[in-house]
Chain A
Amino acid sequence: MLDPPSGVISTGGGASSAPEQYLLRLYVAGTTQRSMTAIINIRKICEEHLGGRYVLEVIDLYQQPQLANGDQIIALPTLIKKLPPPLRRIIGDLSNTEKVLVGLDLRAL
């Protein structure tokens, strides 16, 4: 089963062998199908491409609506790549893996 979405911080397993650490934040709204799909998708991508060098924070705006302004959230779900720069927002359920990888600078356009 899925973990409860809000406030979950997952870190990849191994030590920091890679040069760049990823700080990711995923905003969702409740436990809708779209939210769940986004969470599953980003976890899968992180495990496959960022093993051991990422921090993923999942925020449910239904539970913490006051957090929407700070990160300028309009569309949901929104994945924000806070680190490494440049800052990037990937909106949607993250089912388009190619686009997500481009957004995370893991694949050239």
Chain B
Amino acid sequence: MASQHPKPASAAASRSSEALCKSLTGIKGLDTITGGGLPTGRATLVCGGAGTGKSILAMEFLYRGIAEFDEPGVLMTFEESPLDVAQNMHSLGFDVQSMVSSRKMVMDCVVLDPEEVLEGGSFNLEGLFIRLGQAIDSIGAKRVVLDTIDSLFSCLPNPARIRSELHRLFRWLKDKGVTAIVTGESGMDTYTRDGLEEYVSDCVILLTVSVSDRMASRFLRIIKYRGSDHGKNEYPFVIDGRGIALFPITAEGLDWQASQDHISSGVKKLDQMLGGAGFYQGSTVLVSGSAGTGKSTFLASFINAACLRKERAIYISFEESPSQIVRNMNSIGIRFEQHLEQGLLRIESYRCTQCDLEQHLLNIHRVIEEFLPRAVVIDPITSLSDISSHLFIKRMLAKLTGLLRTRGVSLMLGSLTPSGATPEGTSASISSLIDSWIFLREIEGDGEFNRALVIRKSRGMNHSNKVREFKITDDGIDICEVIYGATGVLTGRARQLQSAERVAEIKQSEIDAG
């Protein structure tokens, strides 16, 4: 009996030693969808067409390996000179030069002019192995990038020979125990032109650029990851001044802590309609309505209230410039200049067609990370439909609301209902992401247009169900008292008339009683 005991234990031990180790790339979204990075001690193939970002992904992996995980790295490039690489990386904010001079990185550039080369008998690529081995050993490298390895096929004769030598190279990299990224050009029907995916079988990542309505978007997909679960979608990503940014929708789970604290809408009577104290802190509020119903005014009031409480807030506009917003809100008694001066407010204006949806998300994400606001408004979210479909906007909003909720930041979105559309219109598709929905509308009657609002929904609070008229005054939004007439809630002149009659009636009854 006793002699049998160690058996299961050792079996378990050997299982865990066989468990796949992963190396974080330092590219956050990528580490999320790969469940912790690329397979340690193995080669990952990153394939894609020209300009899809293969080299940048590979270089960022190398750079962050050194900067964040203290893992020295070797770059062997077949396309660019070390100077070009350093310059390209510098434009992303990566100081490659200092890493080379501090002996954390070795750059080896392989340049062969196919015009010079003749095949005069049987050969192998031992020279490549010697160079790579020498570079790895000289700094104790843990990471290696080979970019773009299929260039070898264009500068050397005998493709069959090269193919078998590359096969040997990948086995050799594994024996060396380095975590490698090998990049390859996409082929017509295959992931890579030269079928590299047959040799690099542990992890294959595909990068693509797709253009729809003349807006280009980048996508990343993990084709395979042997021995590991991974995200299987096409994930949009962006490359900008700071490298690769990827926000998987799955990254922000549905497990945030719901706040019990309230935050004022900035309109006192609206707070009362919401049950007394306003919205929940960290919730997402939609203010929808057709043109001229006062959406921006509600958004500005919300932001204004946050700033008056000395909380930081961000106003993101897709329609107006910061100075225009300041001027317009000044006319209704909201003094944004003061908040700007005190550093409590940031106004960001973006033209929605200036970049794709993912880049907008990244811009907003960065502003939020820098400024750490308690409240954010976006005016209006429907502008984004100029550049993308409702489905993608909804996904982007899911990421954004997820991001803000986990930080307890309250978000208010403006949404333009096109004239002639149903009241729910475009907003219904995002309703599931929304905690509170204020619906603004115009009521025509008696020769005038009057503004009214109703709370369509507000999760977790006993809110008013009344349609209420409101006025935009020099002192902001004023929600009028409910006056019923024969046809229901009265607005405008009819309400004033009815109200005056009632006052007169009361006075009359006082006189009668007196």
Contacts and interface: CB of A to CB of B under 8 A. Distances in A.
A joins B in a complex: yes
Interface of A: 27, 29, 34, 37-38, 41, 61-62, 65-66, 68-69, 72-79, 86-96, 99-100, 102-103
Given A29-B130, A65-B131, A68-B130, A91 B116 contact: no
B151 to A, nearest CB: 11
Scoring B116, B117, B119, B120 by chain A CB atoms within 10 A of each residue's CB, the highest score goes to B120
Contact of B152 (A74, A91, A92): A74
B67 to A, nearest CB: 25
A93 B112 contact: no
Contacts of A92: 119-123
Contacts of B125: 74-76
Interface in B140-185: 152, 156-157
28 contacts: A29-B127, A29-B130, A34-B122, A37-B121, A61-B127, A65-B133, A66-B134, A68-B130, A68-B131, A68-B134, A73-B130, A74-B110, A74-B125, A74-B131, A75-B124, A76-B125, A89-B117, A89-B118, A90-B120, A91-B118, A92-B123, A93-B120, A93-B121, A95-B122, A96-B119, A99-B120, A99-B121, A102-B118
B123 A96 contact: no
A72 B123 contact: no
B215 interface: no
Dominant secondary structure at the B interface: mixed
Nearest to B157: A91
Contacts of B133: 65
B156 A38 contact: no
A21 to B, nearest CB: 20
What is the interface residue range for chain B against chain A?
20 to 34
B127 A75 contact: yes
Interface of B: 108, 110-112, 116-128, 130-131, 133-134, 152, 156-157
A94 B436 CA distance: 79
Contact of B116 (A74, A76, A77, A88): A88
Given A68-B134, A89-B116, A91-B156, A27 B127 contact: yes
Contact of A99 (B110, B116, B119, B124): B119
A27 B134 CA distance: 16
Nearest to A32: B126
Given A74-B152, A76-B124, A87-B116, 6 more contacts: A27-B127, A61-B126, A65-B133, A69-B108, A92-B123, A99-B121
A74 B134 contact: no
A34 B116 contact: no
A74 B120 contact: no
A61 B307 CA distance: 70
Contact of A88 (B112, B118, B157): B118
A65 B116 CA distance: 22
**Nearest 5 Cβ contacts at the A-B interface:** A92-B121, A93-B121, A73-B127, A95-B121, A90-B120
Nearest to A45: B120
Nearest to B135: A69
Contacts of A99: 118-121
Nearest to A27: B127
B124 A34 contact: yes
A74 B122 contact: no
A107 to B, nearest CB: 12
Given A29-B130, A68-B134, A73-B131, A93 B111 contact: no
Contacts of A93: 120-123
B6 to A, nearest CB: 45
Scoring A74, A76, A87, A102 by chain B CB atoms within 10 A of each residue's CB, the highest score goes to A74
Contacts of B108: 69
Contacts of B123: 34, 75-78, 91-93
Contacts of B124: 34, 75-76
B400 to A, nearest CB: 48
B131 A91 contact: no
Contacts of A79: 120
Contacts of B117: 88-91
B120 A94 contact: yes
A62 B131 CA distance: 10
